Structure 1
Amino acid sequence: MKGSRSTIPALAGALLAAQSAMGITLDTTDPNSIKTAASTIAHGMMSYYTGNLTGGTPGLLPGPYYWWESGAMFGSLIDYWYYTGDSTYNDVVSQALLFQTGPEDDFMPPNQTKSEGNDDQGFWGMAAMTAAEAKFPNPPPNQPQWLALAQAVFNSQAIRWDNTSCAGGLKWQIFTFNTGYNYKNSISNGCFFNLAARLGYYTKNQTYFDWAEREWEWVESVGLISPTYQVFDGTNDDLNCSQLNHLQWSYNAGVYLLGASVMWNQTTGATQSTWEARVRGLITATSVFFQNNIMYEVACEPSNNCDTDQLSFKAYLSRWMAASSKVAPFVADLVATQLQTSAKAAASSCSGGNDGVTCGTKWYHNGWDNTWGVGQQMNALEVIQGLLIDSVPGPVSNQTGGISVGNPAAGTGGDTSPGAPTGTISTGDRAGAGILTAGILVGLLGGACVCWDRGPED
């Protein structure tokens, strides 16, 4: 059952009584309506969070939610402030992010390190990156800064780039004793790619762009991104990445979409044309996650077997589709109908629970489907608040008003940042990558048949 709600923010409190009988109403063309809906949904999401209460641990959601989803949630609240201007949760967000940085300021806290994967760390790093890009209020000078935290995550992962199998890539897990250490998955490599592109945009340091190029080449070479831009879940490096897990998850498509859109923004000529083709291809391939222009998690929603993690994945595709349109303007027309239709459907789902505004899982259900949770709230929050993308400034850089202080050596344990990648992936490195890239397995199975353990869950 859901926990009791914490103190209601002023805006949400004024709305709950009026909306409880009819759920959330949303006019997708009215900024005030969008902000009102977002406020109510954000309040519902934060009712699950107890880390800021006496006896709680800042930054942690209670079970069954894993650490990575906490980082994702705080990222959504940075977005909430960015889109709405409502600072209700800013202090809680800052407290959570700073408490979970760990002794090396790289989001490797002792309470998580033994089971932490690269994707888990990546979600916290991307939250810090969003804070830097959006000019979220800086921490005190004696605390780690948003840009430096994002750099620390990137640098610590660059050191983990693994050439012992599959000609490169990041493993899912960081430590050998964790299940999944032999799995190289799209989300871990996608978080790294996403951070590399965005750090390049912010700092204008070519090394980050070089790493982004290298990462994209690698995921294509092993077939995790197919010739038609489907993004598959992962591959076993014990088999030299010669076989793929063909499951498609919405957040995998989204994490590469934003990174590719940033790369389009920062390139010119033929290189920019290449990135535009990639962006358009990724958007076309996301059609698998829409039914009548309403977003759904194709690998598990139809069969009612989404796990706790997967119940939040739509939030990230929504988040990154909207953000992509800000750095690659041609994206806006390609995603507008899907995002607007999905937002309207999401609002319709937020009509359940004791408060009458609890959000459900299946947006195409035409009302609440009797499910609830952090993921359901975050999904609805991101797709609805993202409708305000045209009314907010784009991400800043250190040349366009950025206020976050960086540290190029953060996360390295030394005094230099990782060097530029050497060499390119050759045809010989493409180790059977094209053998299993055809078709959408989930379309045949109608459910989430997980061929290998998939994270981030440990």
Structure 2
Amino acid sequence: MKPSISILAPLVALAPSAHAAYQLNLDSRDSMKQVTSLLAHDMMTYYQGNLTGQTPGLLPGPCASDLCYYWWEAGAMFGALVNYWQYTGDDSYNQVISEALQFQKGPEANFNPPNQSKNMGVDDQDFWGFAALDAAEAGLPDVPGQPSWLALAQAVFNFQTNLWDAKVCGGGMRWQVYSFNAGYNLKNTISNGGFFQLAARLARYTGNQTYVDWAEKMYDWMAGTHLFQETEDRLWIWDNTDTNNGCIDVEHHVWTYNYGTMLSGMAYLYNLTENATWATRASHVLDGAFKTFFPDTLDGTPPDSNLGGNVMTEMQCEPTSVCNNDQSSFKAYLARWMAVTGQLIPSLQPQITAKLRTSAQAAMNQCIGGDNGRMCGRQWYSSVWDGSSGVGQQMTALSVVGANLIDSSMVPLTADTGGKSASDPNAGTSAPIFPHDEFPEITTADRAGAGILTVLVVFGMAGGAYWLVS
């Protein structure tokens, strides 16, 4: 994700209706499938990449305002559509999914295409890798003559292992891949947690110990930083830490997807290893997510708010209506990853199901806007449309309703349980090595030499100017 300025949402007065457009019955699979079908359809009205003259895989952009979407969110959207197919059996979008993922894979087949690499974030690449893994785990057939879904995710993993930065703050990965991008100084949770989840899922699918080792290495580093903070009542997972001050503090922002990516990674590792430590850690993260994003009350919410400790809320930005397009989609990932966690750690499923059911019903409170009367807003706790709409809002509603369709037949596949996606452990290894590994660290002597050279150049230029004037 890229740095962005939060903007105020349109006025709630745009849609005073207090009646849900959808009559969702969570006890009826047919009802849930019908609702998710319409939610998916409305989400895809924003996508034009399958039209003549458009670029497959891209949502409207470039981003000069709020009326566009960064590259990563398109990858996340295709992951949501894979899950939609898995939940409902409706394959209407499968060809679009395959076309988009293959078109955006880039020349090294590691989701680093030339049209995006100049501003590539580690987390951006992760979400496309997640979508490829969603396809592999759901059994979407590989495209003949193209890299397999599993190989695309393996190529992302192989590229990102070169980003491990032990020289600064003892490890972890920077947010941005290239140093000329704003935010390169940050080591953030979603980039590092994204790699953790990627490694954990590859470990479970392939059974390869290398992926387990990398997942453990990343978790140990994150747990040893200020990104994780224990208080008396919960675990806080903060957004980022700054390498410019030695990672001694953090930005105290909390987002649903940061908890979600850690939670699901732990669930995959527990399911693979049967190590109870991972289940305990997952339970701890889940408890922190419940206490943070499912509040009983919240300052700034309308008096008729339906919170009650069971309605998912992006508490950092929703009550003040300052969520940007990125943040408007975050709840989708926590919903999907909570659902998968319930499958992989069955002891956690009852409490997860309770939160997802209530949140899905509440989400319908916001799917009452737009010209068709059913476009979704953000504030699920309110029965008055908040005036916002977009890909993220549709994706969150789609994901939380769809998550209630998951059953035991939809446990993510592995190579040993019916997964057919071909493995390529060396995928993407021909990609250029990460720049910070190609050059030695700058020393004091280097800086002194550069200073002397700069002085000589300045005097030379001044002398040349004087000669020309004379």
Q: TM-score, normalised by structure 2?
A: 0.81
CA distance, structure 1, for counterparts of residue 96 and residue 239 of structure 2: 33
The 8 Å contact of residues 59 and 97 in structure 1, kept in 2 or not, is answered as yes
Aligned to 1:58: 56
Matched, 1:304 2:321: yes
1:411 Cα deviation from its structure 2 partner: 2.0
Q: 2:292 matched to 1:288? A: yes
Whole-Å separation in 2 of the counterparts to 1:167 and 1:119: 20
- Whole-angstrom CA distance in 2 between matches of 1:67 and 1:300: 22
Residue deviations 1:211-265 (CA, integer Å, cap 9, x gap): 1111111101112122343211010012221111121000000011000011111
- Find the counterpart in structure 1 of residue 212 from structure 2: 209
Partner of 1:243: 249
Q: Which residue of 1 aligns with 2:138?
A: 134
The match for 1:408 is: 425
Contact (CA 8 Å) 2:343, 2:408: kept in 1 or not? no
Deviation readout 1:319-357 (Å, 9 max, x if unpaired): 100011111111211211111100001122112211111
1:22 Cα deviation from its structure 2 partner: 5.6
Number of residue pairs aligned between Structure 1 and Structure 2:
390
| Local SS of the residue matching 1:230 | strand
Q: Deviations over 1:130-158 (max 9, x none)?
A: 11111012211x11110000000011001
Q: Please, which of 353, 363, 368 is the counterpart of residue 370 of structure 2?
A: 353
Identity of aligned residues (%): 50
Matching of residue 143 in structure 1 with residue 146 in structure 2: yes
Instruction: Return the letter of the residue paired with 1:52.
Output: N
Q: Which stretch has the larger CA shift, 85-94 or 22-31?
A: 22-31
Once the two structures are superposed, the pairs formed by residues 99-138 of structure 1 within 5 Å of their partners are 99-138=103-142
1:376-400 per-position Cα deviation (integer Å, ceiling 9, x unaligned):
0000000000001125321111111
The CA distance in 2 between the partners of 1:273 and 1:78, in whole Å, is 30
The amino acid across from 2:338 in the alignment is M
Aligned equivalents of 2:109, 2:235: Cα separation in 1: 35
Aligned residues of 2:20 and 2:364 also touching (Cα < 8 A): no
Q: 1:344 to 1:367 in 2, by over 3 A?
A: farther
Q: Give the counterpart letter for 1:395 in structure 2.
A: P
Instruction: Indicate yes or no: 2:87 matched with 1:83.
Output: yes
Where in structure 2 are the equivalents of 1:33-432 lying within 5 Å? 33-63=31-61, 64-140=68-144, 142-227=145-230, 228-268=234-274, 272-286=275-289, 287-291=291-295, 292=308, 293-390=310-407, 392-413=409-430
Q: Which moved more, 1:93-102 or 1:218-227?
A: 218-227
Residues in 1 aligned to 2:333 and 2:142: alpha-carbon distance in whole angstroms = 24
Q: Which residue of 2 aligns with 1:438?
A: none
1:368 deviates by: 2.4
CA distance in 2, matches of 1:223, 1:209: 23
Which ranges of structure 1 fall in alignment gaps of 5 or more residues? 1-20, 415-458
Unpaired runs of 5+ in structure 2? 1-18, 62-67, 296-307, 432-470
Aligned equivalents of 1:383, 1:253: Cα separation in 2: 16
**By how many angstroms is 1:367 displaced?**
4.1
Cα deviation, residue 366, structure 1: 1.3
8 Å Cα contact 1:350-1:359 kept in structure 2: yes
Q: Which is further off, 34-43 or 403-412?
A: 403-412
Q: For the Cα contact (< 8 Å) 1:82–1:392, is it kept in 2?
A: no
Give the secondary structure class of the aligned counterpart of 2:407: helix
How far apart are the structure 1 equivalents of 2:250 and 2:151?
A: 35
- Pair 162,22 (structure 1): closer, same or farther in 2 beyond 3 Å: closer
Q: Is the 8 A contact 1:182 1:236 kept in 2?
A: yes
Instruction: Report the alpha carbon displacement of residue 73 of structure 1 after superposing the two structures with TM.
Output: 0.3
Paired amino acid for 2:342: S
- Contact map agreement 2:253 2:316 (CA 8 A) in 1: yes
CA contact (8 A) 1:166 1:237 kept: yes
* Residue of structure 2 equivalent to 1:435: none
Amino acid aligned to 2:96: V
Q: Which has the larger radius of gyration?
A: 2
RMSD of Structure 2 on Structure 1 (CA): 1.2
